[in-house]
Structure 1
Amino acid sequence: MPTHVLILGGTTEGRLTAELLHARGARVTSSLAGRVAAPRMPPGEVRIGGFGGAGGLERWLREHAVDAVIDATHPFAGTISFHAAEAAAGAHVPLLALRRPGWTPVPGDDWHPVGSLEEAAGAARALGRRVFLTTGRMGLASFAHIDDVWFLVRSVDAPDGPCPPHAEVLLDRGPFTLDGERGLLRRHRIDVLVTKDSGGAATAPKLTAARESGIPVVLVRRPPVPPGVAVAAGPEEAAAWTDTLGGAAPR
C-alpha cells in the first residue's frame, strides 16, 4: 500500500475510493476543485482549489511525497486530467484515471450525440422549443445566445455566468428517481433533453423518462482520457490498483 495517495476528486467515485483506501490504512488526500458550494467531504485530508497548472501539481506531488495519483474527476473535467498526466510523468508518480462507464442507448432511445456544448446548443434548437438542460452551470454560456427557446436549467449551485434569456433554474442534486423525472418532463412540457455522457446511475433516470415520452436526447460525448493512462471503472478497481504499483496496472 502506498504511503500517500492523492485523489483528484469531487465525484461520488472519488469519495468512495477515499473511503476504501482510508479504511485500509493509507494516507489519502482528496483535492476538490471548489466549484460546488457544499461538497460531500471524503475521509482523510482534503484540499480545495487548483494547483496552478501541471507545473504546480508536479511541485505539489514532490513536496508532499505523493506515491500515487488517482484522477477521479468528472468525466468532462478534461483540463485537469491532462495536467495530472503531465505532472505525474514529471514527478515519476503512477497515475490512474477512474472513469465510470458512459451510458449506452437501448431500443427506443432517440439520441443525438454531439462533440461539444456549442454543437449541443444548435442541435437542441433544431429539435424543440422547451429544453431540459442538465449540463451543469459552468457551460451555460454556450446556450446564452438562444432567445427563441425556453430552458429548464438544473444544477447543484446557482449559475453565476451568462444564461439563456428564457430560463428557469432548478437547484437540485442527484440521485434522481424515475417518477420524479417523469413528473418533471410532464410538468414543464419538455420536448428536448440536453445532457453530458456523465454515466452512472444517479442521473440516468432522466434518460429512461425521455425514452418513455419519445423525447429526443442531445448527448455531449465525453473527452478522451490522456494517452497511456491506466483506467479503472469503479472505486474497488481503483483501490485494488494501488496493490499493483510494482506490476501491471489495469487498462
Structure 2
Amino acid sequence: MKTLTLAAAALTTVTLLAGCSDGDPGDDSAADPSRESTSSGSTGGGEGGNDFTDQSGEEIAQTAKDAMAGLESVRVSGAITSDGQEIALDLAVSTAGECAGTISLGGASAELVGADGKAWFKPSDEFWQAQAGEQAQTIIDLVAGRWVVMSGDDAGFGEFCQLDSLLDELVSGEDDSTYEKGDVSDVEGSEAIAVTSTGDDGTSVGYVQVDGDHYLVKVEVTSGDEPGAITFSDFDAEVPAEAPPAEDTVDLDELGG
C-alpha cells in the first residue's frame, strides 16, 4: 500500500493538449495464483473470522494484495494529493480496459470512459481553464464539447482505465515496508481490520475485509507528501462502459497545430 502517485498520468494528457501539438496494463500472470491464494486464505469467512485477524499485519497485507490482484473489476472512489494538487475520482474500472466515471483536478472535473481498447475523456470548460493556461480557450473551441479519444497505449487519462496499473499504484507496498495490525471496525459497511504500512514514502492505513474475500476496502495515506483516502467497492461487478458515438468524439491527433 504505497503512496498514491497518479497525478502525473492525468497531467501528461493536459500537457499534450495544451501544446496542441506508458500505460502498461501490468503483469497479470499472477491472476490465477492470486485467486487461489484468496480462496485458500479466506479463513475469515463466516465463523472463521478470528483465524484471519489473528495473523500478523504482514500476512494480512499480503493476503489483501493477492485478493486485489485477482480482481477483474472494482470501483475506486476518493481523493488523493500529488504535487500539491488534489485528484478526486469515482471510477469503475476493469482488467479489460473498461472504465466509467469521473476524475477531478483541483475541483474541475472530467468524465472518463474506456471500452473496446480505447479511452475517451470529456473535461469541463473549468477543467481546461484550470489546467491548460493560455491555450484553454483554443482547446475548448477545438474540442467543442466532444469526447477526446486516446488509444490504449497513450499515457494520460488512459492509465486510469487499466485496473492492473491502477491497483499497482494504489495498493502495492515497498519491499522494505513494515506492517502493524490494528483493530477491527466497520468500514464502508464491511467489517475490516486495519493494517498500518510504514515505508520511505510515509505511512498509510489499509482496511482489509474480514469476511469472505479479503479485499482492501479503504486506504488512507496518513503521512508523507501525498495524503488522501481511497475506497474500493463493487468488486468484480460489471463496468457500465459504452463508447460514445463517433460523431461526438475528436481524436487527439486532430488537435495538432
Same fold (TM over 0.5): no
TM-score for the superposition, normalised by structure 2: 0.22
Higher strand share: 2
Which protein, 1 or 2, shows the higher relative CO under an 8 Å CA cutoff with sep ≥ 6?
2
TM-score (norm 1): 0.23
